[in-house]
Amino acid sequence: MRPATEALVVIDVQNDFCPGGALAVVDGDAVVPVINAMLPEFAVRVFTQDWHPADHASFAANHPGAEAFSMTQMPYGPQVLWPVHCVQGTPGAQFHPGLLTDPADLILRKGFRAGIDSYSAFFENDRTTPTGLEGYLRTRGVERVVIVGLATDYCVNYSAVDAARLGFGVTVVDRACRAIDLNGSLADARAAMRAAGVAFK
């Protein structure tokens, strides 16, 4: 058992990010048994869930003529336009059926504001609007977070960098993550995480 000051944060292991989903990560479902095996080690376990309204501004379908995976400018900066995914209440937004969700102390939904995306478990993409996770972890006495899930180069990366920025010790477990790797995004994400002081295991 890990110390009570260490939390496992499971990022977005949802149907739309797994094979057959709307924004599938290659081998995304391979993380499920690894994460399930890790859950009993931790006293604090948080799961995040992408939870978008259908009119979300990050969906290419909501920008006439825009291609999926193209870039646009939002008031908060550059934004990838994604295929429609993880729409509230749809099967794609549900957790992978093999993932053990009962052990979760907290399920944090993010990306529910139509005008702003939310990669990080800690902040919206403006990097200032908090999700409330920091406060939850602090009141639970957490000092270190171990981050797993999907996808390494987006939501895992942003969550890890923000956790480090907030002063938590951070470890990303490679075998429990998979990446989209869009135009070299995995290498860039690894560099950003290392620069922030994130450890890899």
Q: Which of 18, 86, 155, 177 is catalytic?
A: 155
The separation between CA 18 and the C-alpha centre of its own chain, rounded to angstroms, equals: 13
Q: Which of 50, 110, 153, 162 is catalytic?
A: 110
Report the C-alpha gap between 124 and 158 in whole angstroms: 10
Task: Establish whether the linkage from the previous residue to 43 is cis, with ω within 30° of 0.
Answer: no
Q: Among candidates 95, 104, 151, 5, which has minimal Cα distance to 160?
A: 151
Q: Which two tokens stand for residue 200?
A: 């890899």
One-character DSSP codes across 125-169? TTS-SB-SHHHHHHHTT--EEEEEEE-IIIIIHHHHHHHHHTT-E
Whole-angstrom CA distances from 150 to 4, 50, 93 are 24, 11, 13
Q: Among candidates 64, 65, 112, 57, which has minimal Cα distance to 81?
A: 57
**β-bridge mates for residue 71, sequence order:** 80
12 is catalytic: yes
102 is catalytic: no
Residue with tokens 């480090």: 164
Q: Phi and psi of 4, rounded to 5°?
A: -65, -15
55 is catalytic: no
Q: Which of 12, 16, 50, 162 is catalytic?
A: 12
Active site residues: 12, 110, 155
